[in-house]
C-alpha cells in the first residue's frame, strides 16, 4: 500500500495508476491524513454467476426440502399461533387500584 499526498498524486498520477493496475493500493492523504483510496477494479466475470450457494458446494438438497411445511409451523410463521417465548415477556396488566385522595382534616365521630 502506498501513502501519498495530494500534490504528489497530481504530479505522478500515471505512475500510481500503473501501480494500481499491478494490484497495488494507493492511499491519498491531505497533510498526512488519509482521505481517499485508489484500488484496482475486480476482474469482469467471463461466465455468469451460478444461482444459489449449494450448487457449487457439493451438497445435495433432499426432495423433502421442497415439500409444504406442516400447518403448525405455517401458523407460527404467519403469527397466527401464540409465541411461547414472547408470551412471558408481556404479562397481563395488573388491576390498578385508585387511592382515595387524602383529606386535610380528620373526621371525628
Instruction: List the CATH code of the domain at 2-38.
Output: 3.40.1620
pLDDT value for 96:
61
C-alpha 74/C-alpha 71 separation (Å) is 5
Over the stretch 18-68, which tens digit does the pLDDT of each residue have? 999 999 999 999 999 999 999 999 888 888 877 666 566 667 778 888 899
Write down the number of H helices and E strands in the chain: 3, 3
Average pLDDT, the chain: 81
| Local structure of 7: helix, strand or coil | helix
Q: Identify the burial level of 7 via C-beta atoms within 10 angstroms of its C-beta, where 0-12 means exposed, 13-18 middle and 19 or more buried.
A: exposed
What is the strand order of the sheet 26-30 is part of? Answer: 2-5, 26-30, 33-38
With a cut of 80, say whether residue 97 has pLDDT above it.
Answer: no
C-alpha 38/C-alpha 33 separation (Å) is 15
Instruction: Give residues with Cβ within 8 angstroms of 4, minimum separation 6.
Output: 12, 16, 26, 27, 28, 29
pLDDT value for 82:
76
Amino acid at each position: 500500500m502506498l501513502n501519498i499526498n495530494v500534490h504528489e498524486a497530481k504530479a505522478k498520477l500515471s505512475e500510481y495508476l500503473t501501480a494500481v493496475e499491478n494490484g497495488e493500493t494507493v492511499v491519498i492523504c491531505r497533510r498526512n491524513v488519509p482521505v481517499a483510496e485508489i484500488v484496482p477494479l475486480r476482474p469482469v466475470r467471463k461466465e455468469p454467476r451460478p444461482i444459489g450457494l449449494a450448487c457449487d458446494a457439493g451438497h445435495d438438497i433432499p426432495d423433502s426440502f421442497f415439500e409444504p411445511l406442516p400447518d403448525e409451523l405455517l401458523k407460527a410463521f404467519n403469527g397466527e399461533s401464540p409465541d411461547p417465548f414472547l408470551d412471558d415477556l408481556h404479562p397481563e396488566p395488573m388491576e390498578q387500584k385508585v387511592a382515595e385522595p387524602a383529606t386535610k382534616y380528620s373526621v371525628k365521630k
